[in-house]
Amino acid sequence: MPVEGSDAKADLKLKPDAVKRAEAMARCAAGKHYELRQQFDKALQEYQAAFDIDPTAKYLPLNAGMNHVPLAVHLGAEYLRRKQNDKAQAVLERAAAVSPTSYEIHLLLGIAYQSAGKTPKAIAAYQEASRIDPLQIAPYQSLAAVYLKEHKAAETLRVLERAFQQNSEDARFWATLGDLYALTMSEPTAAKAVATVYTQKPKSPRAVECYEKARKFAPEDLGILFRLGGYYVAHNEADKGIALYQHILEKRPDALDVRERLADAYAAKKDFDRGAAQIEEVIKRQPTNWRWYDKLGGLYEAGKAYDRAQANYEQALILNPKELTTYLRLTRLYLVQKRQSEALQILQRAKERFPDSARVPYFLGLVCSSMKDYPKAIEAFVQTEIMAKGSQEEKDILDTTFYFYYGAACERGGQFERAVELFRKSLKLNPDNDESCNYLGYMFADKGENLKEAEMLIKRALKAEPKNGAYLDSLGWVYFRLGRTYEALRYLNEAAKTDAAKEDAAIFEHLAEVYLKMGRKDLAREHLQKGLQVEPGNKKIAEKLKALETGASAKPTPIKKPASVGSPKPSK
């Protein structure tokens, strides 16, 4: 039956909402056309036009079979990628108003707010995203990042606990949550936060529980075992980590990153030979990669296999002569072996290749100090300070350790006041540097000045290492200078029982001084003889012993050099 003309026109006419949707779809299709041809600016213009027409429009994915997502998500993400934050916020705020149940829109809105420094708004957006879809890990991850940046460990743990209560069956959810717990518990305030958040502390670490849940849902995912192994090694359970790494290697013997982690796990147990064996296996597969020889050298050095360490460092330099760290490690190795001339040769090679690096004169200062050439050591440290202050990249080496070595060189070079200034600088940078505390305290004791401060400094050093023989000796010497003879005797006797007394004759020399003051020449003689057994060539102790036996006045005790000067870690 024919239709009246006027009625047909009415039926074919689209409603206003349908017209908008059709226009938006056309714009989306145009955007897709430009995107496929990599004309991304034109595509973005079309997508923005489509969004302006219809904020609820869907983005058509490039790959067939993928779910359509809100156009606002694609558009907002692109604006964020281009760092056009204002535009991203405008799009996402409007989209959130018309699509309040979209998890993705609220998540991106949180990112936009966080990028703009609007932290409270970012937190609110992330919280809304997690409320809409609590089985998505991203909102919890983003909230944790906000709180961790502000060092709010308690707030972070509360967020993670909300995630932990979810019934997700997604391995990635639990693996990521495990990472977040591990990161949070590494915060300095973590222990205090645990007491605040939990009425009863969990029996096992949450990170481990999360990794085990991830393992349950993806038992063949070796990456989860890798993360769990790393957690165990980092938390002093190296045996558990080793077992997991070995299991992974049974499945993937060519996994070099796992072998490297396994080597580190063995090193954590001080089993350097087994650690080295793993890197040897890596080298069989990558024989031209200098980094493995450098790492192998470090393992052999730690295990005191110095010849092997040297050979591997040298091989690393043959393969890559442009790595300063390897030159410095080889220098340190020669220093440990007291092969100063070879250390100087390596540093000369380093200086020729890296003339502007402050680390080269730093190590030169260490070598010269070990050679007792203190004027040259001081000159090298002065140069180090000047060069490092002028370098943005190397300012970090002017730390508490640097000023300890610099101060020690000045004291031994006869520049007492300058040494005091440098040790104070070392302690300003790190008040708990026990070596600087002990050295400065002993310097004051030897001079007989600032004895109360000396006592305080050495007690601080002993708080860090209560059984350190050198520190016990220093405190005993302070008490001797203060006239507190019996306290001096107590600490010096404790020092004489430590391993330090096997190498440091000054401990017995100090005990002899105390016994002389107490009128016990027999005990003074006995301890001077013990000092000579430790250092048979010590002329000063021999002279004191001779003076004691002949009744002549003995020379005063010279300053004891605290803690031998070694070398800082060159990997700074």
Locate tokens 């779910």: which residue? 67
Percent of the chain with pLDDT over 70: 92
For the record, the structure tokens of 290 come out as: 């200098």
Residue in this structure with the two tokens 């705020």, named with its chain if needed? 93
* pLDDT tens digits, one per residue of 263-308: 999 999 999 999 999 999 999 999 999 999 999 999 999 999 999 9
- pLDDT confidence of 563, banded at 50, 70, 90? very low
Confidence band (pLDDT; 50, 70, 90) for 564? very low
Around Cβ 554, how many Cβ atoms within 10 Å? 18
pLDDT value, residue 571:
38
- With cut-offs at 50, 70 and 90, classify the pLDDT of residue 70: confident
Within a 13 Å sphere around the CA of 250, how many CA atoms are in the beta-carbon half? 8
| 15 vs 242, more confident | 242
Return the higher-pLDDT residue of 59 and 457.
Answer: 457
Q: Residue 59 above 90 pLDDT? A: no
Q: Which of 105-114, 252-261, 422-431, 515-524 has the lowest mean pLDDT?
A: 515-524
Q: For the chain, give the mean pLDDT.
A: 91
Using pLDDT thresholds of 50, 70 and 90, give the confidence band for residue 3: very low
Handedness of CA 538, 540, 541, 545 (dihedral sign): positive
Q: What pLDDT shows up at residue 15?
A: 74
Q: Which residues contact 378 (CB under 8 A, 6 or more apart)?
A: 365, 406, 409, 410, 413, 415
Rounded distance, CA 202 to CA 416, Å? 54
Predicted confidence (pLDDT) per residue in 468-502, tens digit? 999 999 999 999 999 999 999 999 999 999 999 99
pLDDT tens, 361-370? 999 999 999 9
Predicted pLDDT of residue 240: 95
The fraction of the chain above a pLDDT of 90, given in percent, is: 79
Q: Which of 313, 276, 275 is nearest to 293 (CA)?
A: 313
Q: Which domains does the chain have, with CATH numbers?
A: 422-550 (1.25.40.10)
Residue-level pLDDT at 466:
95
pLDDT of the residue at 126 = 96
Label residue 20 by pLDDT band (50, 70, 90): confident
Q: Is residue 65 scored above 50 in pLDDT?
A: no
507-557 pLDDT, tens digit per residue, is 999 999 999 999 999 998 999 999 899 999 889 888 888 888 886 544 444
Q: How far apart are CA 126 and CA 128, in angstroms?
A: 5
Q: Say if residues 478 and 446 touch (Cβ distance below 8 Å).
A: no
